[in-house]
Structure formats: structure tokens, C-alpha cells
Structure 1
């Protein structure tokens, strides 16, 4: 019997995933959580065969949760699900230890195939991700300017570029306004930009928003 943990803050998404999984794995024991904190706690306290986690959840992001999971259970396969295109986050999550990255508009068969693959100890990597990995071996020295940002800085970049205020970002990420302002300063410095308008223009040109 497989023990599967699903993490997503939308109940309807969890229900859909559960139905798809149970059709392919009728004897699976599936547990649901709605945020990253509960996800991390479940991984620390219990043994699982695989985790399916949303990338964007209240509080800590799925990417931060992934990093914590890999500390406590380095061999536990984690599939990251997201509404964001592959070119925005796929390489980041794979480098952080994920076993695969799937867009939420995937076909059910694709999800089942991904689960089978990672349960067998392999990575689930689409051809487009494989190509990006081959041409961007070191994101710290190659690729676009936003590739130099940390995961949290990248999150803040996208929110700033979308027109969110410092206080709005602080509230949504459970950070202080001072911390968000510090992230903003780092982002501008690393990307050699000066204003939020510059960030928005850059993000539009690079399909980040």
C-alpha cells in the first residue's frame, strides 16, 4: 500500500488529485494538507512513499517546504505542481531536490505517469525541461538576470512586477515590510535595475507575469 501526501491550499484541487490517484492506485492511503507548515510536520512525523505539493501556498511556499523536506527525508520523492509555466520554476525545483515538475493543466494520464516514474526512483522531466537543464547547467553564472535571484527573491520579484505593494507582499508571504524592502533592494541590485517599473518591464519581456 502506497502512502501519498497531497499539499494544496485549494480543497477542490486536492479532491481532483485524490480521485485521479485512487483510480490508478486503488489501495493507496492518501492524506491531504492545506499549507506548507502542515506538509513539513507530516513529513517529519510520518513515513510517506511520495509527496505531491503545490508551489504556491499560504505562508511558506512549496519551494521552501521542499527544501525542508529534503533535510528531514532526503530520499522522499516530491512532485511539484504549479500553475506557472515550466520555464519559470522547473529548474529551480529540480535543483532544490524535487523529483519532477508538472503544470496543473496536465492530463490525468501525465500525472499518473509521473507518479509511477518517481516511485521507481527516477526523475520526471519533460523534453523542454531536459533541454533547459542541458543549456543552463549553472544558473548562477548563465541565463537571464532573474536566474541569479534566490527562490524567495524570485517570489518577491514576481509580486512586485505584478504591482503589489510592500505591505501586500509582506502580508501574503508572512514577512515584515522591512524584510520585503530588503529583498526588493537585493533584487534591484542583482538585476541592475532601479525601479519597480523596471522590474515590471523586465518581467513582461521575460514572460514572468
Structure 2
């Protein structure tokens, strides 16, 4: 039976390109698109889908936040996270949050189709790069790296700070108060052991936490 897919990405050209790729495959049935989290949730609540392609960085809301809501409301839905961020930044975090696969946007169409088929069946699709990360996490001795102790929201704020956004701009993007973002920033600084934004950027560079 053909799979019905929902694509969630805030860039129209990305959604159109993905939809065209999926529509050319006989295993895919209906393909719908959503530009943000609220639109995606409206479509999910209105009709059944077998799997969704979800961008990590949505304009209105963090993709991991959307994933959390999706997992609570639609536990049987297959979710493939797709992002420009390298696997080292978000893959393990996404899988721990309930995604069935994490792919970089540079992946081949066949890999995306394979991941969607696995996700729709309720199985996890793991690329060699993600498998190496998971193996590293299992066999590593000693404590976790400081940034791995950040919550998903704290990690999102870290990404935006490193990208050069101000507290006010981050607050507007995430629909939170500036005081809340300042609190997140203080927690991030404390957990990472940094005192200034320059030190935070240096930490992010050392651990490859910036956007690629």
C-alpha cells in the first residue's frame, strides 16, 4: 500500500523539491506540505499519514518541540528528521526524542525513501554516520560532554546565540519573553562553564555545534 507523507519545512523550495522526489516513487501515495509546526499539526489532526519529514530548524518553532507534540498525539506516526545540521549535532538527540531517522539534507533520494519506509513500519533507520555516533555514546567511558546535558530548548537557544542572534530576536522567533531567553542563556553558560558569548562561540566551534 502506498505511503501518505507529510513534509514539514519552512522553505518552500525545499518542500517542493522533496514533494517532487517522493511523487516520482511508486511506493508513495499522497504528499502534503506544511511550512511550520502549527500547520503540520492541523494537517495531522485532520487526516491520517504514514510518516512525516520534519526539519529540525523551523522558523516558528524548533523541530524537536514539534516532534515532542507529535509523539504525544500521534505515537504511531513515522518521523524522519531532515536537516542541514550534521549528524554530530542533532542525530542522537532526535532519536532519543522519538524520531525514527535523522538524515542530512545532502542525502540521496533513495536514502530518504528507505528511511520513510522504515519509519512508516515503526522501525528505526540508522545511517553509518549515526550508527557511529550511537556506538560512541555506548562505549564511551566517563561523563557526557557538557553540551549533551542541555535540554532541547537550551540547545536550540545555544544554536541561535552562536548564529549571532540577540536575546530579543531569539525571544521573538521562539515566541518567548526576553527574560526567559536570558534565563536559558544563563543556564547554558553555567552548564558549559563559559562566561562570555565569545567563549560560547569558541566552545561551539570546538565541538562543531554551529550550523554547517
* TM-score when normalising by structure 2: 0.91
How far apart are 1:31 and its partner, in Å? Answer: 1.0
- Measured at CA, do residues 171 and 138 of structure 1 come closer, stay the same or move farther in structure 2, by a change above 3 Å? farther
Distance across 2 between alignment mates of 1:145 and 1:45: 41
How far apart are 1:59 and its partner, in Å? Answer: 1.7
Q: 2:4, 2:28 within 8 Å by CA — same for their partners in 1?
A: no
Larger relative contact order (Cα-Cα within 8 Å, sequence gap ≥ 6) = 2
Q: Give 1:103-114 correspondences, 5 Å limit.
A: 103-114=104-115
Distance across 2 between alignment mates of 1:102 and 1:22: 19
Q: 2:22, 2:28 within 8 Å by CA — same for their partners in 1?
A: no
2:93 is the counterpart of 1:89: no
- Measured at CA, do residues 197 and 76 of structure 1 come closer, stay the same or move farther in structure 2, by a change above 3 Å? same
How far apart are 1:128 and its partner, in Å? Answer: 2.1
Q: Give 1:2-41 correspondences, 5 Å limit.
A: 2-25=3-26, 28-41=29-42
Q: 1:99, 1:123 within 8 Å by CA — same for their partners in 2?
A: yes
Q: Which residue in the other structure is 1:60 paired with? A: 61
Q: Which runs of 4+ in 1 moved over 3 A?
A: none
- Measured at CA, do residues 19 and 194 of structure 1 come closer, stay the same or move farther in structure 2, by a change above 3 Å? same
- RMSD over aligned Cα, in angstroms? 1.9
- Deviations along 1:106-141, one digit per CA (max 9) or x if unpaired, are 1112112222222333211112212221232499x8
Q: Give 1:54-203 correspondences, 5 Å limit.
A: 54-137=55-138, 142-203=143-204
Q: Which residue in the other structure is 1:205 paired with? A: 206
Distance across 2 between alignment mates of 1:67 and 1:150: 13
- Unpaired segments of 5 or more residues in structure 2? none
Q: 1:18, 1:30 within 8 Å by CA — same for their partners in 2?
A: yes
Q: 2:78, 2:121 within 8 Å by CA — same for their partners in 1?
A: no
How far apart are 1:2 and its partner, in Å? Answer: 2.4
Indicate the SS of the match to 1:53: strand
Distance across 2 between alignment mates of 1:150 and 1:60: 15
- Deviations along 1:13-47, one digit per CA (max 9) or x if unpaired, are 11111111111136611111100111122223321
Distance across 1 between alignment mates of 2:139 and 2:165: 30
How far apart are 1:204 and its partner, in Å? Answer: 0.9
Q: Which residue in the other structure is 1:46 paired with? A: 47
